[in-house]
Amino acid sequence: MIKTSQGLFEGMECIQLDNGKLSLWVTSQVGPRVLGLSLNGGENMFYVDRDAKIPVEGKENYSLRGGHRLWYAPERPETTYIADDLPPATVTIQNGLELIQNVDAATGIQKSWQVILDEKEARVTLDHKLTNLGADHFQLAPWAVTMLRAGGRGLIPLQVDNDDQNGLWPNRHLVFWPYTNMKSPYLNIDNRAVSIEAKLTDGALKIGTANPMGWMAYSLEGILFVKNAVYDKDANYLDRRASSQMYCNKDVIELETLGPVVKLAPGDSVEHQETWQIYPEGNWPAEIGKLFGLFHD
């Protein structure tokens, strides 16, 4: 049974969803944002900073705040960093919440989510939707970003299967952002996975890849956070097909999933679903545990 309550969390008005194993805090004050995620009453795994902002020339600065957010790619200040400082419309649904944002005045795009907590398991389903309520066609790709506390290790699996019967075609690639030092000791690449140790002292890293497996993960203080989004091998992805991405600086690591690029006609919508699964220490899936073991925390 899901218990729902309201109150302050991280200094913001939030609605708490709790199933006895996992607690979520969804702010009703701004957003949409999921600000908190706690397994068995433990510490919030998400990074939260109410004062963190991205400067936007000639416009209001964008408040990052932390937690989980929905953007859309390609990343451009004029369309990505649109302030979401107003309360979303919030509706209680079975086992969760639906949150509907005001329409972005600059683009005509409206964000809405359904956040659903499993009745018994430490599992969350997030159905993100972007709707074009403007007068013109608009091209975008859904982009879901989860900000987690630094100190642990993020990981994306790499494809090992062949793309052709003879094993002659390339089967994986990595994408790097301009500020990434590929010699960084915090960036680690194995034949089966790439990882970032979230213990940077300065600077930032970002890496991504096409991810047919769909999942990516973060381990922090023995707890494993796994997020999954379906990968469509026949679809068009931005960011050089990097459907799974990790960003890290000294304060935070972000696990990001990208949906295929679409051109929305007025009135059309696109959906992007993520599932989150959280595992306690000693109860990780064996295959994921083996991949983390490659990097010897």
Structure confidence by residue, pLDDT tens digits, 167-176: 999 999 999 9
Bond into 285 cis (ω within 30): no
What CA–CA distance (Å, rounded) separates 146 from 180?
Answer: 20
Longest dimension (CA), the chain: 59
Residue 31's pLDDT is what? 93
Residues of the chain with pLDDT under 50: none
Give the DSSP letter of residue 186. Answer: T
What CA–CA distance (Å, rounded) separates 78 from 21?
Answer: 40
What CA–CA distance (Å, rounded) separates 119 from 51?
Answer: 34
Query: Number of folded domains in the chain?
Result: 1
List b or e across 189-220, with b for residues whose CB sees 16 or more CB atoms inside 10 angstroms.
eeeebbbbbbebeeebbbbbbbbbebbbbbbb
Close Cβ partners of 67 (under 8 Å, ≥ 6 residues apart): 27, 33, 34, 35, 36, 46, 47, 48, 146, 147
Structure confidence by residue, pLDDT tens digits, 266-290: 999 999 999 999 999 999 999 999 9
Close Cβ partners of 164 (under 8 Å, ≥ 6 residues apart): none
Nearest CA among 130, 150, 144 for reference residue 276: 144
Nearest CA among 34, 42, 46 for reference residue 124: 34
Residue 59's pLDDT is what? 82
Distance of CA 40 to the CA centre of its chain: 22
Residue 60's pLDDT is what? 83
Amino acid making up residue 87: P
What CA–CA distance (Å, rounded) separates 6 from 16?
Answer: 6
> Which residue range is the domain that position 279 belongs to?
3-293
Q: What is the CATH number of the domain that holds 117?
A: 2.70.98.10
Residue 158 corresponds to which tokens in the numbers above? 């790499």
Residue 70 corresponds to which tokens in the numbers above? 């929905």
Residue 4's pLDDT is what? 97
What CA–CA distance (Å, rounded) separates 12 from 6?
Answer: 11
Residue 94's pLDDT is what? 97
pTM of the predicted structure, to 2 decimals: 0.97
What CA–CA distance (Å, rounded) separates 128 from 83?
Answer: 18
Q: Is residue 202 classed as helix, strand or coil in its secondary structure?
A: coil
Contact at 8 Å (CB) between 235 and 272? no
What CA–CA distance (Å, rounded) separates 178 from 191?
Answer: 23
Percent of the chain with pLDDT over 70: 100
